[in-house]
């Protein structure tokens, strides 16, 4: 599908000397014919992505904010609205995953009502949805280009940064800044892969996105977890989508390490995230809800205290580097030392729109 910017929605835009066409992270053509001034952000991951690409002054060029920003990461949402209060007054995009199924065209119309020059969508969500032909056609007919980002399942490869940051840099005319982010990502990824060159990848890893309650198994299917594939063997690889997990299957899987994703989007309670204060007692209490599941005390990983709580909202951008470095640090500090992980935090602060600060992981004590 190709999206192209026309001229029907706004007569005040500045035409480019030549149209700019790029492929977004989902492989769709995006053609921009006018200078980008107002951007609709539809998901919390698109806020970080766009702000990183634009740089200083980014908040002055946003015409819509995601409505789920506080549910996904309350502390980050508070930081953003405290730092750039005018953003809180902008129209809010409905939660795409929950609202698109019933009436995607209504969501498109709500976005178009903000008169954007560009719409940034989270490819990780859009790729799961179907029946969106009418949704995309509304943008095309209105002459509004749409750009899908995608790090979620394609992360930790040498080719993921360019179609995200590189392509966005071209259409925003922020090439130098965005190319520097691409180079940063690829350099840090190369360093990690060099460290892992001699690493024994036979370590068996179980990675779960929790459900509504800790007692019930959440999403344990193989949704694509690049950091797990980089470091070891995903015990959930090949598990059917409709397969219900239980202690019998956990026993057979016999993981060496168990990673539970923490995010307020799933649990409703924020333990970790950007600008969240470190609280090991709260993290231990949260993690114990999972380790106390029926039969888990008999698992070797639990006996060895090889169970970790990790933050789940870093995998949508260059921040995904931290998730991989952190997991390597948790499994074997000989791969990534505490000092190297701390240095990455500092370095990420040079490419993100806010300081890379928060509480992102806890290992069972």
pLDDT computed for residue 151 by the predictor: 86
- Mean pLDDT of all residues in 134-163: 92
| Cα pseudo-dihedral 316, 63, 143, 4, rounded to 10 | -20
Question: Cα 319 to chain center, whole Å?
Answer: 8
Mean pLDDT of 200-218: 87
User: In this model, does residue 7 exceed pLDDT 90?
Assistant: no
- Check whether 340 has a pLDDT greater than 80: yes
Q: What is the pTM of this model?
A: 0.92
CA distances from 135 to 3, 63, 64, 105, 275 (A): 12, 19, 17, 5, 35
Q: Which CATH architecture has domain 200-363?
A: 3-Layer(aba) Sandwich (3.40)
Domains 2-191 and 200-363 share a fold: yes
Question: Can you tell me the mean pLDDT for 132-157?
Answer: 91
Give the count of beta carbons closer than 10 Å to the beta carbon of residue 45: 27
Average pLDDT for 59-82: 91
Distance from CA of residue 352 to its chain's centroid? 13
List the chain domain ranges. 2-191, 200-363
Q: pLDDT tens digits for 276-331?
A: 999 999 999 999 999 999 999 999 999 999 999 999 889 889 999 999 999 999 99
Parallel, antiparallel, or unpaired: how do β-strands 361-363 and 307-311 relate? antiparallel
Per the CATH hierarchy, to which homologous superfamily does domain 2-191 belong? Nitrogenase molybdenum iron protein domain (3.40.50.1980)
């Amino acid at each position: 599908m190709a999206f192209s910017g026309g001229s029907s929605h706004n007569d005040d835009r500045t035409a480019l000397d030549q149209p700019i066409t790029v492929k977004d992270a989902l492989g769709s053509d995006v053609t921009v014919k006018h200078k980008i001034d107002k951007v609709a952000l539809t998901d919390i991951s698109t806020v970080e992505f766009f702000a990183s690409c634009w740089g200083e002054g980014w908040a002055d060029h946003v015409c819509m904010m995601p409505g789920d920003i506080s549910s996904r990461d309350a502390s980050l949402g508070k930081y953003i609205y405290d730092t750039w209060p005018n953003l809180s007054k902008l129209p809010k995009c409905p939660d795409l995953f929950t609202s698109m199924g019933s009436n995607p065209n209504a969501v498109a119309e709500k976005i178009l009502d903000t008169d954007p020059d560009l719409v940034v969508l989270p490819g990780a969500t859009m790729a799961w949805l179907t029946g969106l032909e009418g949704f995309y056609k509304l943008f095309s007919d209105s002459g509004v280009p749409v750009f899908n980002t995608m790090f979620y399942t394609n992360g930790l490869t040498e080719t993921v940064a360019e179609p995200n940051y590189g392509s966005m840099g071209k259409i925003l005319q922020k090439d130098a800044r965005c190319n520097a982010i691409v180079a940063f990502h690829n350099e840090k990824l190369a360093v990690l892969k060099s460290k892992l060159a001699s690493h024994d990848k036979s370590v068996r890893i179980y990675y779960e996105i929790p459900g509504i309650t800790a007692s019930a198994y959440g999403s344990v299917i193989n949704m694509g977890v690049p950091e797990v594939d980089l470091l070891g063997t995903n015990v959930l690889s090949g598990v059917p989508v409709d397969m219900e997990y239980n202690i019998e299957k956990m026993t057979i899987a016999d993981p060496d390490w168990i990673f539970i994703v923490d995010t307020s989007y799933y649990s409703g309670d924020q333990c970790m995230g950007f600008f969240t204060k470190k609280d090991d007692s709260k993290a231990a209490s949260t993690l114990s809800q999972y380790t106390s599941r029926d039969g888990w005390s008999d698992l070797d990983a639990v006996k060895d205290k090889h169970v970790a709580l990790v933050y789940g909202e870093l995998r949508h951008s260059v921040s995904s580097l931290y998730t991989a470095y952190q997991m390597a640090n948790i499994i074997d500090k000989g791969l990534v030392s505490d000092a190297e992980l701390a240095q990455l935090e500092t370095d990420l602060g040079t490419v993100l729109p806010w300081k890379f600060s928060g509480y992102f992981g806890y290992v069972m004590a």
